[in-house]
Every structure is written in C-alpha cells, then in structure tokens.
Amino acid sequence: MIHIKRLQEDGADIIALIGEIDASSSIELDLAIAKSVGEGFNKILVDCGSLDYISSAGLGVFMSYIEEFKDRNIKMVLFGMSEKVANTFSILGLNELLEIGKDKAQAKKIVNEL
C-alpha cells in the first residue's frame, strides 16, 4: 500500500511516498510522476523519507523515466531514503542513474544545479 502526497515548493513538485511500493502500487507512483510531468513541472523531488519498501516494479517506474527526463530536460531528485531502500537502489545500480540527495535541502540544491 502506498500513499502519495504532492506539494509544490519553489517551483519544484515534491512527491512524497508513504508506505510500500509493490507491483500493484507501482502503478500509482507511475501515475503521480506522469501527472507531475503533465502539469509542466521540470523539477521533481521525490520524498522517500516514509518509503518502507520498494519492489523491482517500483524501481522500474523510476528507471522508465530516466531517458524521457533527459530528453525533455526534466530534473528528478530522490531524497530522504532509509538505508534499506537506498540499498535496493544501489544494488540495481540505479543510484548511478538517478540523482539521490540526502535530504530535502540537498535535493533542492542538486535540482537547481542540474
């Protein structure tokens, strides 16, 4: 089960993920990101502070946007990951493909630098 909250700060869209992302709830994540893009945001911050678990399907969602974002010059930064979730990202090598910040402040900094 995942609960997704969105709020806007300094022109960036912050998507907060609360709960677990498995095969079925990954669709919600996909929709949330797609909606944010659809609304014209080019700075997307994903708050993983309350993300307890992410399955490969959930990782697949992030992965599927990498190229599209690169082409459209949309910046996405993930932040606030627990060690366990961060480990899941790094095992797959996604930490090399995605921008991951420690906290919101750092994430904002990264997104503005990019």
Partner 1 sequence: MRIKAITRLLFTLGFITWLVLVFMDLTVQVSLANNIPPEVPSWLSGLVLNLFILSLFYYYKLKIEKDEVLNFVDLLWRVFATGLVATVASLTLRLIEYLLNDTKLTTHIVFKDLNYMINLGLMISFLIMAYSAWKRLILYQKSKWLLRLWAFFEIGLLISLLYDSFGIQQIEWSYIAFLATLITVALILSGNMKWVAFLNFRQKWTSLLLLLLTVFYLLYIFYTNSTLAEEIDGQSAYFTDYRTNVFVLSLIVFVTMYAMFSFLVILFNLPTTSVFEQKLEEVVNFQRISQSIQTEQSEESVYNILLETSVSSVFADAAWLEINGTTLQKRVFTYKITDKESQDIINHLNSHNIKGVFDQGSEKTKNLSKHLASLKGSRFRSILAFPIYVKGENIGTLALLKELPEGFNKEMTKIVGTFSNQAGISIENFRLMEEALQNERYKEELKIAKMVQKSLLPAVLEQDEDFEIAAFSQSADEVGGDYYDTLRINEHLVSIIIADVSGKGTTAAFHMSQMKGIFHSLSRKDVEPDEFMRQANQALIHCLERGSFISATYFVIDTALKTVRYARAGHCPILYYCSEKKSFEYFKDKGVALGMVRNKSYANFIQAYEFPYRPGDLMVLYTDGITEAKDIKSEEFGYERLLETVKDLHDLPARGVQDHLISKLYEFSGTDNIDDDYTTMIVKFSSTKTPETEHFGKLKDKH
CB nearer to partner 1: give 41 or 62: 62
Separation between Cα atoms, residue 60 and residue 108, nearest integer Å: 24
Nearer residue to partner 1 within complex by CB, 11 or 93: 93
Q: In which element (H, E) is residue 32 found?
A: helix 26-38
Closer to partner 1 by Cβ: residue 18 or 63? 63
Q: Is 18 in the site for partner 1 (CB under 8 A)?
A: no
Report the site for partner 1 in 55-114 (rule: CB under 8 A).
Answer: 56-57, 59-61, 63-64, 66-67, 91-94, 96-97
| Residues 28-57 within binding reach of partner 1 (CB under 8 A) | 30, 56-57
Angle, to 10 degrees, between the axis of helix 83-92 and the axis of helix 56-72? 70
Is residue 24 at the binding interface for partner 1, with CB under 8 A as the rule?
no
Name 49's Cβ contacts closer than 8 Å, sequence gap at least 6.
Answer: 16, 79, 80, 81, 82
Quick check: 1 and 17 in contact, CB under 8 A? no
Residue ranges that bind partner 1, judged by CB under 8 A: 23, 30, 56-57, 59-61, 63-64, 66-67, 91-94, 96-97
